[in-house]
Amino acid sequence: MGFSRFFYVYLPGFSRVFLVALVGTSLLGGCSKRDTHTPITEQPPTIKLAPVVDQQRFHTTYLAHVTTETNSLITGTDGSILLHNQAEGYWRALPTAGLTSSIFAIAATDDGQQMMAVGEDGLIIMSNNAGIDWEQLAAPTTAHLRTLVFDPLRQAWWIGGDQGTLLKTPRDLSRWQAESWPQGKSITQLSYHPAQQRLTASGDEGLIALLNTDSHFWQQQNIPASTRITQHAVNDQNTTIALTTEGNVLRKNAGSISSAWQMVTLSPNTYLSGSVYDAFHRTWIVFDSEGHIYLSDDQGEHWAAVAGVDTYLNRGIYLAHIHRLLLVGDRGLVALSDDGGRTWSQQWLSDQAIEGIVALNPQTLLAYGNKGLLLESLDAGKHWHLLQTPIDPFIHEVIAINPDKQRWLAVGAKGLMLVSDDQGKSWQRQESATHQDDYLFTVIQEPTTHTLLSAGPPGTLLRSTDAGHHWERQLNLDNAGEGYFHQLLSNRRGTLVALAGPGKTLYSEDDGLNWQAAQIIGEQHLYAGVYVDKAEVFIAVGQSGAIQRSHDGKVWEAITSNAGQDLYSLLADGNHIWIGGNRGTLLHSIDAGQHWTLVDTGTTKTLQYLTQTPKGSLIATGSQGLVLISRDAGKHWQHIEPPTATNLRRIYHRPNGDLWVASRAGEIFRSQDDGQHWQALPALTSASIKGLLIDESSQTLIGYGEALVRIPLP
């Protein structure tokens, strides 16, 4: 359990680095017997994680794994757990809705039946059926828990974490005990070594402590390092090494707890991120945060500096059946060595970091990493293919593409464009002619021609006429002031409008092929717009109370409102139009936007979104959980008890009348009484959700923003 980050490359000549210190081990305070077991609680209650069928989190960063004879599991941020069963042969997301903490570590008992995982804010979850079903335990701490190990001789779990947290519980969870550690040193790794029958703990401020099976007391080692121990490891020769954040390797030969430690400095003031051992070639590989590689072929007594690569390696694995080393790291790096680490081949597979690698069988490997990255190899690491696309930037909009709505399109920051052809079960990056500095705010499909258009700063406008398979760059202004592109609008009669920037709008009359500047007076940003069918007029609103109106998209008229506040949203119902904005601002027009009156909302909260429900109610949502409802066409407004304290997004509705809304804190709420009361769904993320896509044909809901989640509709 718990190997950290590693590196590898080429090994031309050997430049020997000799040991510079020989340090004896003393027990803290003479014998340093830690007779301070403190009972915390008896038989902690458990909370079943809410079951949600086919829930998916696509943005998760995967952090840790465990493998047994039957199952392999990967854990990560937002409480995500993936399970692979050898008989089933595929990965599936486990139902952990309601759990949004990061899971830092996972381990199993020696028979593989009981598993435990730990994470943020004292998170402890447990499974008693090989990782299939999980329960959350009432934790005896709120500290971040970083590591855990099962002690087979004592039949007990040990858990370590921040602020010196060290917990112990028997397999039956009948009680918890706490160890008292000096000076609150955080524990980052716990491990059990069968040959030595010894537990090892390591962590901050040079912490290394050992516990023999015939002892009840941890004995802290006296070592010359005073910074964090990044990793410790034991090989088949019972040699122990420990790495530090200052470039030191500590080494201890097989023997008693009090046997001497040696230390060598490989690279001063450099973070040694990990190690891996090749049992066939008997070579240790150690690597650091700057890509330097070191090799030892004499059990760590001497080390050779090896030319490295300019990236951070995170994890490694040794495949004993073919004597192969594999290392993974940032920028999608996978490196392979079949000669004990002396030479390496490299593959760069993604722009995201690979955090770990796990062998499912002798030939099948899975590499997992940042923002949902999953890679698979079927030939023991020689070749790889993408299982799940990493989703990094903020997703601003997701739409179902006409005419059949079977293809879904997502756009966002850093030129992100994703497509799904299986109703959101999987997503692939789309070649879109975008650049890293493009920021796609909006996407629309022209309803008559089905042409797709997507736009955003710094003046990028893209066009596709084949359902998003291919894109052309129609505008490349390279100036956000000229082309911020808050929103694209269509009058469904052949005219397209782009709200382009401060005092600028563009229009097109040839399905988005060519764009011209409209005639407009004003220097304000226009944040949102709508086309009013009954009056055949475009209306746009924005900065400092700006309201603009145009019948053809070519010539705009500034309308006086005296609002004085930034305006963000519009809702049109015939000639009746409402505008929402800062500090409770709500404007109403009965003549298609020619004249406006200010409505008293009784709040200073921002009205960010306006929606009309299937039953005709008007609802405003916005800052600090604002829900404001009118049941009489806007004459009177009622404040609804906020379902959350954070900002609420736009409301979406289903044909059955159910209303749905997401929040900036990743919450999703449903109302079955036209917005009067709201119920929270079990959370899938704590990341911001900007919007929702509801698909009735597949009974699926997609939440998007900083996260991308998929859940079945109830």
Residue 466 phi/psi, 5-degree rounding, is -130, 45
d(CA 390, CA 371): 5
Q: What pLDDT does residue 75 have? A: 97
Tokens of 714: 């109830």
Share of the chain above pLDDT 70, in %: 91
**Residues near 21 by beta carbon (within 8 Å), at least 6 away in sequence:** 224, 262, 263, 264
Residue with the two structure tokens 């997701």: 398
Average pLDDT of the segment spanning 243-264: 85
Average pLDDT of the segment spanning 482-507: 92
Tokens of 697: 């044909």
Q: What pLDDT does residue 40 have? A: 43
Query: pLDDT grade, residue 404 (50/70/90)?
Result: confident
Q: What pLDDT does residue 28 have? A: 27
Average pLDDT of the segment spanning 107-125: 97
For residue 22, pLDDT beyond 50: no
Radius of gyration of the chain (CA): 30
pLDDT tens by residue, 553-585: 999 999 988 889 999 999 999 899 999 999 999
Q: What pLDDT does residue 178 have? A: 87
Give residue 58's Cα distance to chain centre. Answer: 8
What are the strands of the beta sheet with 293-296, ordered from one edge? 16-17, 303-306, 293-296, 283-288, 272-278
Tokens of 494: 């052949």
pLDDT tens by residue, 357-376: 999 999 999 999 999 999 99
- Name residue 623's amino acid: S
For residue 672, pLDDT beyond 50: yes
Share of the chain above pLDDT 90, in %: 71
d(CA 556, CA 114): 68
Q: Which of 93-102, 247-256, 531-540 has the lowest mean pLDDT?
A: 247-256
Query: pLDDT grade, residue 220 (50/70/90)?
Result: confident
Residue with the two structure tokens 């879904």: 408
Beta-strand pair 487-490/496-501: antiparallel
- Name residue 324's amino acid: R
Average pLDDT of the segment spanning 389-415: 89
Q: What pLDDT does residue 95 have? A: 83
Residue with the two structure tokens 């490891």: 233
* Sign of the alpha-carbon dihedral angle for 322, 323, 329, 334: negative
Q: What pLDDT does residue 257 have? A: 66
CA distances from residue 385 to 344, 347, 367, 376, 377 in whole angstroms, order as listed? 20, 12, 10, 5, 7
pLDDT tens by residue, 269-287: 899 999 999 999 999 999 8
Q: What pLDDT does residue 434 have? A: 84
Q: Which residues pair with 286 in a beta bridge?
A: 275, 294
Mean pLDDT for all residues in the chain: 88
pLDDT tens by residue, 336-357: 999 999 988 999 999 999 999 9
For residue 71, pLDDT beyond 90: yes
Residue with the two structure tokens 């040839």: 510
486 with 498: CB under 8 angstroms?
no
pLDDT tens by residue, 599-614: 999 999 999 999 999 9
Count of beta carbons in the 10 Å neighbourhood of residue 523: 12
Query: pLDDT grade, residue 255 (50/70/90)?
Result: low
Tokens of 211: 């516990």
For residue 540, pLDDT beyond 80: yes
d(CA 691, CA 460): 22
Q: What pLDDT does residue 527 have? A: 95
CA distances from residue 503 to 496, 540, 546 in whole angstroms, order as listed? 17, 11, 10
Tokens of 691: 């919007």
Q: What pLDDT does residue 586 have? A: 96
d(CA 487, CA 500): 8
Query: pLDDT grade, residue 412 (50/70/90)?
Result: very high
Q: Which of 125-139, 179-193, 462-476 has the lowest mean pLDDT?
A: 179-193
Residue with the two structure tokens 């392979």: 336
pTM: 0.86
Query: pLDDT grade, residue 660 (50/70/90)?
Result: very high
Average pLDDT of the segment spanning 656-660: 96
What are the strands of the beta sheet with 135-137, ordered from one edge? 46-48, 135-137, 124-127, 115-119, 103-108
316 with 3: CB under 8 angstroms?
yes
d(CA 315, CA 64): 10
For residue 3, pLDDT beyond 60: no
3-state SS class at 73: strand
d(CA 397, CA 110): 47
Tokens of 14: 């050997």
